[in-house]
Amino acid sequence: MAHVPAYVTAHEDGTLKKRAKQARQALADCTLCPRNCHVNRSKGKRGVCRTGAKAVVASFGPHFGEESPLVGQNGSGTIFFSYCNLLCDFCQNWEISRLGEGREADPEEIAGIMLSLARSGCHNINFVTPSHVVPMILEAVSLAAAGGLSIPLVYNSSGYDKVSTLKLLDGVVDIYMPDFKFWDPEVARSACNAPDYPDRAREALVEMHRQVGDLVVDERGIATRGLLVRHLVLPGNLAGTRQVMDFLARKISPDTYVNVMPQYRPLGHAPQKPGWDRGITHQEFEEALSAARRAGLTRLDRRWA
């Protein structure tokens, strides 16, 4: 039997439209993410994310560089949103996250993009950097569902998410794919001026797992529902990899699907910051993989494991 995405039911019973309205109202005094800017985005005011009443879309299309359970044969249907609520100093997408490369799009246009990606055969719709544009996403999903969209939705975030906002996505998002970037508050302060990142990420991952559980794949190996966690290995163990892996195994699930990633490069402001100004060594990456295995995690993305 074909998997029916969660939002299809939410659309049919009216929940989706109700959530979209609730999220849109929250823009008037925005506390949708942990930055708690309290600006009236519905009137065009901008906080840390520099996004007003409309989402800015940088690009979209089938993506074949994502994790294997998302890519399959036809790719993950990614929509890259511009700007960001976290703003890491080493961001590899600087032009998008800091400079806002892209253009504003109405929910109707975003819904059209989603339907186009589905028609092209993509296995899912993958919202990249969605934390600051949840209201716009909910409105677009409502319109796309009315237009017949029926493939899973992926929430691909930095992990700097607010539980109250994630609850608006309960029964809407099928697959959560957050990062868990830093364990140490002082490292998070140095990287992105967000010393509360570790606390917020832990809370967010618990909520995400509560909603969707461990990652489930179909007979083709394509993800249909569940949690997939990314962790970027940083030089000098700045990420606190051992603690992150222990948390995932003990507080989330030993069956958590984890992508331990080796592609850190000193981009953005990182070359000017001691400790951040080099890539990782092969030994550092192998130690990170070993930390995941010692924690009891066995579902490691096959590209590295």
Q: What is the pLDDT of residues 73-113, one digit of tens each?
A: 999 999 999 999 999 999 999 999 999 999 999 999 999 99
Tell me the two tokens of residue 291: 């930390």
What global pTM score does this model have? Answer: 0.97
Mean pLDDT of 30-59: 97
pLDDT of residue 18: 97
Q: For each of the domains in the chain, give its residue range(s) and CATH number, in order of start.
A: 6-43+52-295 (3.20.20.70)
Length of the chain: 305
CB 32 within 8 A of CB 130: no
DSSP structure class, residue 98: T
Q: How far from 237 is each of 36, 59, 178, 231, CA to CA, in Å? A: 29, 33, 20, 12
pLDDT tens digits for 214-270?
999 999 999 999 999 999 999 999 999 999 999 999 999 999 999 999 999 999 999
Q: What is the DSSP string of 260-288?
A: EE------TTGGGSTTTSS---HHHHHHH
pLDDT of residue 1: 58
pLDDT of residue 3: 81
Tell me the two tokens of residue 45: 């005011």
Measured CA to CA, the distance from residue 275 to residue 297 in angstroms comes to 28
Measured CA to CA, the distance from residue 182 to residue 293 in angstroms comes to 19
Kindly calculate the radius of gyration of the chain based on its CA atoms and give it in whole angstroms.
Answer: 18
Q: Which amino acid is it at 137?
A: I
Q: Using alpha carbons, select from 184, 180, 273, 277 the residue that is nearest to residue 233.
A: 180
